Amino acid sequence: MKEWKSGREALAQAAKGQVCFVFGERRQETASLLDLLEEPGCSRPEEAIDRAFGTSIAGARALCVLSASSAGVLSRISDLGCGGGILFLLVGQEDAPPADLRPLAQQLELPLLTPAVPQDCASLLGEGFALSGKIAAPVLAEVGPWLLDAASMVEFPQGQSASLLDYQRESGRFVRLPGAEKQKIQLAERRKALLSWLEVSPCVTRKGEGETGLIVTGGMAHSVPQMERLAVLQLGMGWPVNLEEIRRFSQSVEHLYLLEKGRYLAPILAEAGIPVEPGLPWAPEETISPDLPARPPQLCPGCPWRGVLYTLKKEKASVFVESGCLSLGAGLLMKGVDGCGAGSPLALAMGFAASRPGKAGKTAALLTAQGWERCSFAQLGDFSSSRIFAVVLEDAAQPAQLTPQQVARAMDIPIVEADSHSLSQIRDGVRSCMARPGSVLILHGSCAAKEESLPAHRVDRELCTGCRQCLRMGCPAISFPEHKSAIDPNCCAGCGLCGEICPVKAIQKGEKA
């Protein structure tokens, strides 16, 4: 029976049908899937990986949800075998460019499945565990954030449960021993099993007939427009590449094109002598409707970070942020961020302050409660004796395992607290932190996208003097037509911050609908 499911729901339902143990790393990008899987998750990827690996050694199946940005940690176990199957779901970040995991999979010699639509999610676990069992090694699957949200009719395969396998201590299989012959044999057997699996792999599908052929890698399927006489070869596996299947496909069409994220497959096809024509067989405007506006790179109306970014800008502080939507504070309307690094902004801010001691007391690192919780003891120790301060958002809609207060108290870090929608509290909090480096300002607020909006505010045009103060709040709901401010009622989230800075109180609370 077919059911309407999002990719996230399809994965969660399939996991329940697979009788597998679920583990995960709790990050912003993995949280919603872990919630559906009823798994609290660990704060560190190493812990989630080790729990899954231990489960597999014991002979059971393990599903482990990780952030795609943590995939490199898998190198620590990639050359070991597994008992029961292990499937690592690698979830991409919403606000970061998608990482190409294919080179990593090749380097680790672990197969990478690339589901493209919710139906693929419904069958992913069955295929992934079957492959993991066949090659006696973990299997990776790349899941983009858009796939978790995309919904369509799906059908769940039946009868894929598994029983606990026997356990035997096998050091060369589960423990890395330098030069162990058994391990080399194990890797050679894995390669052989993978090649034989490729020949019968269900991960390559051909759709349509025509003289024009298009090879599409997973995750790009949604970019293919409906076209007549177009034959599509959808690759559901990022690595290894099924060159024989691609060669057969290329011989069945006159013109061959390639649609892939990044540039991994193109040089492999060129080296294999498979001719691919440049570009795509359609004009670019056929893929994206010009009627769909792109999301402007600005903080949302009602964003809980807006007040503190505004205040830090007024205080002429240097601001470093975690990657993710917080980096939108660098957008044109706010221009309130100096840098966004690869890891914790604490390290970035401390690096900045070390080379600019004059700015040290006015250097801030902004991070989510999850990012704050992920900081190592050593990093928090360095921070507490540094000349910078931190601002952490405690978002009730996205709680971390430890509250920001618990993390700070464990490290003797002084705490100041403020409501994210009260400019006066934020100003007092920021000033107190600037006077006491190594302290943290904990903001209470919720992501505007996850919270129900308050009634929209409105500008009394009789009172408005056109001073433009409110525009400095950088809110996309505020415009300035005919020399006075106006608030778009469909966009305003009713946070009230702009009203706090209007010198003549021209911005007023709206009525409840």
User: Which residues here bind ligand SF4, judged by CB under 6 A?
Assistant: 301-302, 457, 459, 464-470, 473, 475, 477-478, 485, 487, 492-498, 502, 504, 506-507
Question: Between residues 166 and 482, which has the closer beta carbon with respect to ligand SF4?
Answer: 482
Task: Please give the C-alpha separations between residue 254 and each of 42, 127, 269, 374, in angstroms, as whole numbers.
Answer: 51, 33, 16, 53
Q: How far is the CB of 513 from ligand SF4 (least distance, A)?
A: 15
146: Cβ contacts below 8 Å, ≥ 6 apart: 222
Cα-to-chain-centroid distance, residue 159 = 32
- Extended beta strands in 228-351, E state: 230-235, 237-239, 255-259, 318-321, 339-340
**What does the alpha-carbon distance between residue 379 and residue 55 come to, in Å, rounded to a whole number?**
31
**Which helix (H) or strand (E) is 499 found in, with range?**
helix 497-501
Question: Between residues 20 and 493, which has the closer beta carbon with respect to ligand SF4?
Answer: 493
Q: How far is the CB of 288 from ligand SF4 (least distance, A)?
A: 28
Q: How far is the CB of 32 from ligand SF4 (least distance, A)?
A: 25
Q: How far is the CB of 491 from ligand SF4 (least distance, A)?
A: 7
Question: Between residues 388 and 492, which has the closer beta carbon with respect to ligand SF4?
Answer: 492
Question: Between residues 392 and 492, which has the closer beta carbon with respect to ligand SF4?
Answer: 492
**What does the alpha-carbon distance between residue 370 and residue 403 come to, in Å, rounded to a whole number?**
9
**What does the alpha-carbon distance between residue 24 and residue 65 come to, in Å, rounded to a whole number?**
4
Which residues does residue 416 pair with via DSSP β-bridges, in sequence order? 441
Q: How far is the CB of 455 from ligand SF4 (least distance, A)?
A: 10
**What does the alpha-carbon distance between residue 446 and residue 458 come to, in Å, rounded to a whole number?**
22
Question: Between residues 222 and 468, which has the closer beta carbon with respect to ligand SF4?
Answer: 468
Question: Between residues 37 and 487, which has the closer beta carbon with respect to ligand SF4?
Answer: 487
Q: How far is the CB of 334 from ligand SF4 (least distance, A)?
A: 11
**Whether the Cβ atoms of residue 470 and residue 418 lie closer than 8 Å to each other:** no
Backbone angles phi, psi at 226, to 5 degrees: -70, 125
Question: Between residues 113 and 478, which has the closer beta carbon with respect to ligand SF4?
Answer: 478
Q: How far is the CB of 456 from ligand SF4 (least distance, A)?
A: 6
**Whether the Cβ atoms of residue 145 and residue 79 lie closer than 8 Å to each other:** no
Q: Can you read off the two tokens belonging to residue 293?
A: 């506006």
Q: How far is the CB of 477 from ligand SF4 (least distance, A)?
A: 4
Closest to 83 (Cα-Cα) out of 169, 165, 191: 165
**Whether the Cβ atoms of residue 218 and residue 116 lie closer than 8 Å to each other:** yes
Question: Between residues 171 and 424, which has the closer beta carbon with respect to ligand SF4?
Answer: 424
**What does the alpha-carbon distance between residue 75 and residue 96 come to, in Å, rounded to a whole number?**
23
Q: Please give the single-letter amino acid code of residue 78.
A: S
Helix (H, G, I), strand (E, B) or coil at 185: helix
Question: Between residues 141 and 492, which has the closer beta carbon with respect to ligand SF4?
Answer: 492
Sheet holding 230-235, edge to edge: 204-207, 230-235, 212-217, 255-259
**What does the alpha-carbon distance between residue 203 and residue 128 come to, in Å, rounded to a whole number?**
10
Q: How far is the CB of 309 from ligand SF4 (least distance, A)?
A: 12
Question: Between residues 136 and 467, which has the closer beta carbon with respect to ligand SF4?
Answer: 467
Q: How far is the CB of 398 from ligand SF4 (least distance, A)?
A: 20
